[in-house]
Structure 1
Amino acid sequence: MILVTGATGTVGREVLRLLAGRGVPLRAVTRDPARLSSVKTDVEVVGADFEAPETLRDAVAGVEGVFLLTAPGAWVPEHDLAMINAARVGGVRKVVKLSAVGGRSSTDDGGTMPAHWHAPGEQALAGSGLAWTALRPSSFASNALRWADAIQAGQPVPNMTGTGTQGVVDPRDVAEVAVEALLGAEHDGMALTLTGPDLVSVPDQVALLSEVLARPISTVEIPLEAARMQMLASGLDPSVVDVAVRGSQLVRDGGNAVVTNDVHRVLGRPARPFRTWALDHRGAFLDTEETARAAR
């Protein structure tokens, strides 16, 4: 039995789908079980909350492995530690944690980078006595979905990172690596930095989307302080806004220009490039009329 947390998200749902395809007994945990009403009937769905330890103890009963994915925010350390403690006490054998690029090496940042949020969880796993693997993905290709409304409206894509490049990774590759780590022992005790095969900037990604969609798409530079005010006005948690702004500055300065071979090493094939993700998700950027024409 494997327990999947974050099962309603992009990576969690894919982990659930891949494990189900292999016939693995599964339990999916969510605060709102109704959000997983569409999953396969042979997946056990349970309600639990990281801030209610007794629900986590019940969720891990009879579980051998846990895929640990906590929603981004200043609460990540508390949530990670709650699940790791429940897993340790409950007799779980292995935890595979979705962390962030940089991992435990990037804690001197005033607490305003994703890796800082994840460092306590990684440290707790290393000292837990459990088998563990930490997955440290770079920026997800699926983040481009935030641009869909602008593209459909013929507006420029907002760019907070200038010409800074990243090893943008397909979340499907992250999910496949997670499954291999959950089902095997080869990657126990390891932290894997998961990237795509190339360094790409926002203008690079937009150019590829323009090619895939066969339409001109431009970008517009967004000053980081203006972006901060927009995000705060939209109701985002200030800790998340701080991370988004600091992270954008880091990318602008070349601080996340990292490509690794870890996806290839685990899966035995190259990581998917951003162009492949864009082709596979082309429909998300088309408006209703374009979608209808494409279906004819």
Structure 2
Amino acid sequence: MILVTGATGTTGSEVVRQLAARGAKVRALTRDPARAQVPAGVETVRADYADPDSLAAAMAGVGAAYLVCPPGPGAAHDTALVAAARAAGVRRLVKLSAIGTDDPGTGPTVAWHGVGERVVRDSGAEWTVLRPSSFASNTLAWAAAVGRGEPVPNMTADGASGVIDPHDIAAVAVRALLDAGHAGRTYTLTGPAAISVPDQVAVLAEVLGRPLTVRGLTPDETRDFLRTAYGIAESGVEDVLTGIAYLRDGRNATVTEDVREVLGRPARTFEQWAEDHKEAFGTG
């Protein structure tokens, strides 16, 4: 049995789908199983990171687990999951972290993932850590503006990132969950090239077949966009702004071959992701 936490999220839902397609026994952890849409044969279980009893029940009989935790001081969520996994005898853990956890310049939000990584490495189980770069799916926050024919909001100027399709993150996670050859590895997962927001908009315009423009956001506009488009609470905005400055300064332009190493094929391009999701941006 493989437990997938964050099972209705961006990577978790894809991990569930890919595991189910391989015929694996999958248990999807969610706060509201009644609302979870999972493939046939996937078990759903209600659990909350703050409820040890629910985590114990979710981990029962599990051999491997995919850990998705929102970052926070002290890595309390990672600690709770790992404690439940250890008590249940879970043999293999795969943690979703973030690129740059070992660089103080990324800010506290990313650094908290680093604390969670240490918890997983000290768990006594086989472990694999995934450090993805910026998700291609983050651009879905532009959909409303694109649909209205408005300029795409740009918080990072010309700073480029190794933007990755979440499908590839999930595919690497699935390999690490199923195969023993990834124990003790930390993979930095990126797309095949570093690409800026203006470059992504140009690709999206080509895919949609219509012109798109970009508008740089002022600091105040950036704060508002983080709150409205991403739902970030006021208390967390300044931490996120530190990470945005990191991107804007071009310090996230790292590109690796880790996806190719694990999957035996190149990482998917942003254009491929955009083709798969163009309906979200409208076709008019």
Partner of 1:207: 202
Q: Quick one: which of 275, 281, 293 aligns to 2:271?
A: 275
CA distance in 2, matches of 1:57, 1:140: 31
Partner of 1:132: 127
Query: Measured at CA, do residues 14 and 91 of structure 1 come closer, stay the same or move farther in structure 2, by a change above 3 Å?
Result: same
The question of 1:41 aligning with 2:40 is answered yes
Gaps of 5+ in 2: none
Which is worse superposed, 237-246 or 161-170? 237-246
Query: Measured at CA, do residues 150 and 226 of structure 1 come closer, stay the same or move farther in structure 2, by a change above 3 Å?
Result: closer
Q: What is the deviation of 1:76?
A: 7.7
Partner of 1:193: 188
Residue 50 of structure 1 aligns with an amino acid whose one-letter code is Y
- Whether the aligned pair in 1 keeps the contact of 2:78 and 2:120 (CA below 8 Å) is no
The question of 1:260 aligning with 2:256 is answered yes
CA distance in 2, matches of 1:190, 1:277: 26
Query: Measured at CA, do residues 204 and 113 of structure 1 come closer, stay the same or move farther in structure 2, by a change above 3 Å?
Result: farther
Partner of 2:175: 180
Q: What is the deviation of 1:49?
A: 0.2
Which is worse superposed, 230-239 or 250-259? 230-239
Which is worse superposed, 16-25 or 223-232? 223-232
Q: What is the deviation of 1:6?
A: 0.4
CA distance in 1, matches of 2:235, 2:266: 35
The question of 1:19 aligning with 2:15 is answered no
Q: Quick one: which of 140, 147, 151 aligns to 1:145?
A: 140
CA distance in 1, matches of 2:227, 2:40: 40
Partner of 2:239: 243
Q: CA deviation digits over 1:51-80, x for unaligned, max 9?
A: 111110111000000000123x42681111
Residue 83 of structure 2 aligns with an amino acid whose one-letter code is N
CA distance in 1, matches of 2:159, 2:136: 15
CA distance in 2, matches of 1:175, 1:221: 32
- Whether the aligned pair in 2 keeps the contact of 1:70 and 1:76 (CA below 8 Å) is no
Q: Secondary structure of the equivalent of 1:6?
A: coil
RMSD of Structure 2 on Structure 1 (CA): 1.7
Q: Secondary structure of the equivalent of 1:281?
A: helix
- Whether the aligned pair in 2 keeps the contact of 1:2 and 1:27 (CA below 8 Å) is yes
| Corresponding residue pairs, total | 283
CA distance in 1, matches of 2:212, 2:225: 22
Q: Quick one: which of 77, 80, 84 aligns to 1:79?
A: 77
Partner of 2:57: 58
Which is worse superposed, 218-227 or 15-24? 218-227
CA distance in 2, matches of 1:192, 1:59: 27
Gaps of 5+ in 1: 291-296
Q: Quick one: which of 87, 96, 99 aligns to 2:97?
A: 99
Q: What is the deviation of 1:121?
A: 1.3
Q: What is the deviation of 1:239?
A: 4.6
Partner of 1:293: none
- Whether the aligned pair in 2 keeps the contact of 1:138 and 1:195 (CA below 8 Å) is yes
CA distance in 2, matches of 1:240, 1:198: 30
Residue 160 of structure 2 aligns with an amino acid whose one-letter code is T
Which is worse superposed, 239-248 or 226-235? 226-235
* TM-score, scaled to structure 1: 0.91
Query: Measured at CA, do residues 277 and 60 of structure 1 come closer, stay the same or move farther in structure 2, by a change above 3 Å?
Result: same
CA distance in 2, matches of 1:41, 1:229: 40
Q: Secondary structure of the equivalent of 1:181?
A: helix
Partner of 1:294: none
Query: Measured at CA, do residues 230 and 179 of structure 1 come closer, stay the same or move farther in structure 2, by a change above 3 Å?
Result: closer
Q: Quick one: which of 164, 167, 187 aligns to 1:169?
A: 164
Residue 147 of structure 1 aligns with an amino acid whose one-letter code is W
Query: Measured at CA, do residues 76 and 240 of structure 1 come closer, stay the same or move farther in structure 2, by a change above 3 Å?
Result: farther
Residue 89 of structure 1 aligns with an amino acid whose one-letter code is A
CA distance in 1, matches of 2:168, 2:121: 24
CA distance in 1, matches of 2:212, 2:227: 27
4+ aligned runs moved over 2 Å, structure 1: 73-76, 111-115, 229-236
CA distance in 2, matches of 1:262, 1:78: 29
